[in-house]
A and B are shown apart, each in its own frame.
Chain A
Amino acid sequence: MGFKKKNRHVGIVGIGETKFSSHREDVNQPEMIHEAVKDALEDAGLTMDDIDCVVHGNMELFEMVHQPDLWHTLGTGARGKDAFRLTTGGTTGGTLVGAADNLVAAGMYDTVLAIGFEKLQEGHTTGGITNMADPLWARKLQSGALTDSAAVKAIAEFGPDRAKKAAMLYRIIMDKHACLNPNSHRAFGLDWDQMADLMENSPPLIGDLRLIHMCSQSDGACAMILSSEEKAKQQCDHPVWIRDHITIHREETLNLCVNHYPNETTHRFAARHLYERNGITDPLDYFDVFEMYDPSAWWGADWIRDFFLLEGDAHYRLIEEKEIMRGGKMPINPSGGVLAANPIGATAMVRVAEAAKQVRGNAGPHQIPGTVNHAIASSFGGTMWTILIMLEKELNW
């Protein structure tokens, strides 16, 4: 891969998030985005005059609005500034951070504002995903955002009993995290003794994927301000450094339930390359927290193995021993993750934002105990697009 080291260091100096919710009738799209932008500017102690460029994104077609970036200028502050619109599906939020990282690292701009949003209540996700093409021609099996392929795979490998328990355990851990995060859209207050009931009685969606396993559709926005090392140090006492990011897209469409061709998942492929080029041999040991784009509990449980380059059932043991909970060996999604809120174009950026807040130590009620020096955040898009973003507390690598 033609990877080159960054031209200069890039730090996160401002983070803004709205409350995530199923409905935001009180604001239109630019107004909702404005909340996150204002929050990020306040967090950074900056004004729009300090921003050189705005990158803006959401999932294409989900609100059925043509060129939302133009309309949103009312709330983004992009008027008269260099601006880009990016749309890469579920990965959009990660793409926005990656693009802002590149723009600053390249020296094009010193300070870039990245904005991801979605207002799913206004649109129709199936219209934007499943209806986009012929249901059969040149496609694999498609059921929109819902698929039980991860469940089929896990049950084939570990048996129904262990696999279903692991997925539900993962789900309840995420809910316990979500209950601490004031921005959560969904925080039920689930407890361990409800596992059997939920595995049996949660409404089935497709195969072994049940409603309780699946993420929601949310309204919300996230904004992040990235600056060059020199600027970041002036603007902020403790910038969070973006050490590296990788963005990979290598699978044509969703994998079939069982791999019919031997391949490494894009998640594992991306993780392997990222760690190799940064000299990280034991990611589980190196990172202090992981914010994962986990659209369903089945996927979340399965993907731990790929992201940390684990073998066998090592990922299941992490779940079963609750090592992925706050206070555990590898806390995953202290924010509650995507299962807590999924404003799609913002979701992947929220992963980076939440990981960065954990590094700063001011995440709020869901701040994990202990110092967070190294964090990683993942993004996921419909056709297995993977972005991994590595964050560092100190500039010492």
Chain B
Amino acid sequence: MTTETKDCFTIDGKLALPYQYFAGSTGSRFIISLREEKKIKGLKCKKCNKVFVPPRSTCEVCFEDISDNWVELPNTGTVTGFTIVRYEEPHQPLKPPYITALVKLDGADTPFAHIVKGVALSQMKTGLRVEAVFAKKTTATIMDIDHFRPKAEKPGFEQGYTYDQLEEGMSASFTKTISETDVYLFAGISGDFNPMHLNEEFAKATPFGTRIAHGALPQSFIAPVLGMKLPGLGTIALEVTTRFKAPTYFGDTITATGEIIEKLPEKRWVRMALTFTNQHNKRVAEGSALVMPPVPMKSSIT
């Protein structure tokens, strides 16, 4: 047998497959509840007590008609499985990467597929507690639930990443424009009334030619990063070192960024690289920090 493929032609084809899908009156009632009441409803089999979400008019196990036995469910549930979509296709609901997950609502027996937002891809996990976020605008589809987001189990405080959750390469930043007022307030706070910060005529005579901000002012912008973003609430800063590279003028917009560069397993601390850049992407300072990430808080606080 010969397998010679020379002079064997291929004919290219493409199928057009337009279609509709009728949700039916049962499926439509589910969508109407989402649209009108922002409530997720399921159908319960009277025989085996299973609650199906999205609803189905028959329980295929008991072969019973259950289409009139509606039950209301909370907007909260647990992720029973997930996948991270990393490729782009026209039919997809979002630009990748994004998370699709199976969410089993509290009180339901069947999970259903939806989108989870508000959690780092690396932090996504089965068992995550989530709650539905309803869409601002209705489309009369399952997308009337816009997505699910992690549910804050203890409302009030969203604790930062623990040592185990942190990975090298994770980063966060804080940005703010420095005004004349900021500099005057900082002078008052620190007692540093140096005329190079406060007196324009004096400043003209310095190498900078105009007033500049105190070096510690942009440096202080790393505090909201460490304490409120990465690692976040509950972090204790052990050491912050900064080397100033360029002046900060009034009106400059400074971005302070912290990146995890090393995990220290013995102490369960992390070392972070710090950078401070202005609106021209010029580095005004750089440094490093050593921090103790949050440990689970005492229940009396939360």
Contact of A127 among B17, B22, B27, B57 (CB under 8 A): B17
Q: How far is the CA of A124 from the CA of B15 in the complex (A)?
A: 11
A24 x B17 contact (CB < 8 A): no
* With contact pairs A25-B24, A119-B22 given, residues A30 and B58 touching in the complex (Cβ less than 8 Å): yes
B22 x A131 contact (CB < 8 A): no
Contact of A133 among B13, B20, B21, B63 (CB under 8 A): B13
Instruction: Give the number of residues in A that approach B within 8 Å (Cβ atoms).
Output: 33
CB of A134, distance to nearest CB on chain B (Å): 6
B60 x A31 contact (CB < 8 A): no
B56 x A131 contact (CB < 8 A): no
Residues from chain A with Cβ under 8 Å of B58 in the complex: 30-31, 34, 74-75
Residues from chain B with Cβ under 8 Å of A121 in the complex: 20, 22
A134 x B27 contact (CB < 8 A): no
Question: Which residue from chain A places its CB closest to the CB of B59 in the assembled complex?
Answer: A74
Q: How far is the CA of A49 from the CA of B20 in the complex (A)?
A: 34
Q: How far is the CA of A124 from the CA of B18 in the complex (A)?
A: 6
Q: How far is the CA of A26 from the CA of B21 in the complex (A)?
A: 11
Question: Which residue from chain B places its CB closest to the CB of A38 in the assembled complex?
Answer: B65
Residues from chain A with Cβ under 8 Å of B61 in the complex: 79
* With contact pairs A77-B63, A134-B13 given, residues A34 and B19 touching in the complex (Cβ less than 8 Å): no
- Judge whether B242 is part of the interface by a CB distance below 8 angstroms: no
**In chain A, residues 92-133, which have Cβ atoms closer than 8 Å to a Cβ of chain B?**
119, 121-124, 127-128, 131-133
**In chain A, residues 4-45, which have Cβ atoms closer than 8 Å to a Cβ of chain B?**
24-32, 34
B24 x A127 contact (CB < 8 A): no
Question: Which residue from chain B places its CB closest to the CB of A49 in the assembled complex?
Answer: B63
* With contact pairs A26-B25, A28-B27, A31-B26 given, residues A64 and B19 touching in the complex (Cβ less than 8 Å): yes
Q: How far is the CA of A122 from the CA of B22 in the complex (A)?
A: 7
A30 x B11 contact (CB < 8 A): no
- Judge whether A48 is part of the interface by a CB distance below 8 angstroms: yes
B17 x A64 contact (CB < 8 A): yes
- Judge whether A73 is part of the interface by a CB distance below 8 angstroms: yes
B21 x A122 contact (CB < 8 A): yes
Residues from chain A with Cβ under 8 Å of B27 in the complex: 28
Residues from chain A with Cβ under 8 Å of B56 in the complex: 30, 74
- Judge whether A63 is part of the interface by a CB distance below 8 angstroms: yes
CB of B66, distance to nearest CB on chain A (Å): 11
- Judge whether A214 is part of the interface by a CB distance below 8 angstroms: no
- Judge whether A137 is part of the interface by a CB distance below 8 angstroms: yes
Instruction: Give the number of residues in B that approach A within 8 Å (Cβ atoms).
Output: 21
**In chain B, residues 1-59, which have Cβ atoms closer than 8 Å to a Cβ of chain A?**
11, 13, 15-27, 56-58
Interface string of A72-83 (1 = CB under 8 A from B): 011101010000
B interface, by DSSP: helix, strand, loop or mixed?
loop
CB of A211, distance to nearest CB on chain B (Å): 22
B60 x A28 contact (CB < 8 A): no
CB of B291, distance to nearest CB on chain A (Å): 51
B22 x A28 contact (CB < 8 A): yes
B60 x A124 contact (CB < 8 A): no
Residues from chain B with Cβ under 8 Å of A73 in the complex: 60
**A26, A77, A133: most-surrounded residue (chain B CB, <10 A):** A26
Q: How far is the CA of A179 from the CA of B15 in the complex (A)?
A: 38
Q: How far is the CA of A133 from the CA of B26 in the complex (A)?
A: 38
- Judge whether A61 is part of the interface by a CB distance below 8 angstroms: yes
CB of A360, distance to nearest CB on chain B (Å): 26
Contact of A123 among B11, B19, B25 (CB under 8 A): B19
Q: How far is the CA of A65 from the CA of B17 in the complex (A)?
A: 10
Q: How far is the CA of A326 from the CA of B276 in the complex (A)?
A: 92
B60 x A74 contact (CB < 8 A): yes
Residues from chain B with Cβ under 8 Å of A30 in the complex: 56, 58
A127 x B25 contact (CB < 8 A): no
CB of B247, distance to nearest CB on chain A (Å): 64
Q: How far is the CA of A31 from the CA of B63 in the complex (A)?
A: 12
A131 x B16 contact (CB < 8 A): yes
Interface string of B124-157 (1 = CB under 8 A from A): 0000000000000000000000000000000000
CB of B47, distance to nearest CB on chain A (Å): 13
A26 x B24 contact (CB < 8 A): yes
Question: Which residue from chain B places its CB closest to the CB of A61 in the assembled complex?
Answer: B17
**In chain A, residues 42-94, which have Cβ atoms closer than 8 Å to a Cβ of chain B?**
47-48, 61, 63-65, 73-75, 77, 79
A27 x B13 contact (CB < 8 A): no
CB of A233, distance to nearest CB on chain B (Å): 25
A127 x B23 contact (CB < 8 A): no
**In chain B, residues 248-266, which have Cβ atoms closer than 8 Å to a Cβ of chain A?**
none
**A61, A64, A121, A134: most-surrounded residue (chain B CB, <10 A):** A64
Question: Which residue from chain A places its CB closest to the CB of B61 in the assembled complex?
Answer: A79
A27 x B25 contact (CB < 8 A): yes
Residues from chain A with Cβ under 8 Å of B16 in the complex: 124, 127, 131
A77 x B22 contact (CB < 8 A): no
Report, nearest first, the 8 A-B pairs whose CB atoms are least far apart: A64-B19, A28-B24, A27-B24, A64-B17, A124-B18, A26-B25, A122-B20, A79-B60
A-B contact pairs, 22 of them (CB 8 A): A25-B22, A25-B24, A26-B22, A27-B22, A27-B25, A28-B22, A28-B23, A28-B24, A31-B26, A47-B63, A61-B17, A73-B60, A74-B57, A77-B60, A119-B22, A123-B18, A123-B19, A127-B16, A127-B17, A127-B18, A128-B17, A131-B16
**Which residues does B use to contact A, with CB under 8 Å?**
11, 13, 15-27, 56-58, 60-61, 63
A27-B25, A75-B58 are known; give 6 further A-B pairs, CB within 8 A: A25-B25, A31-B24, A34-B57, A77-B60, A119-B22, A137-B11
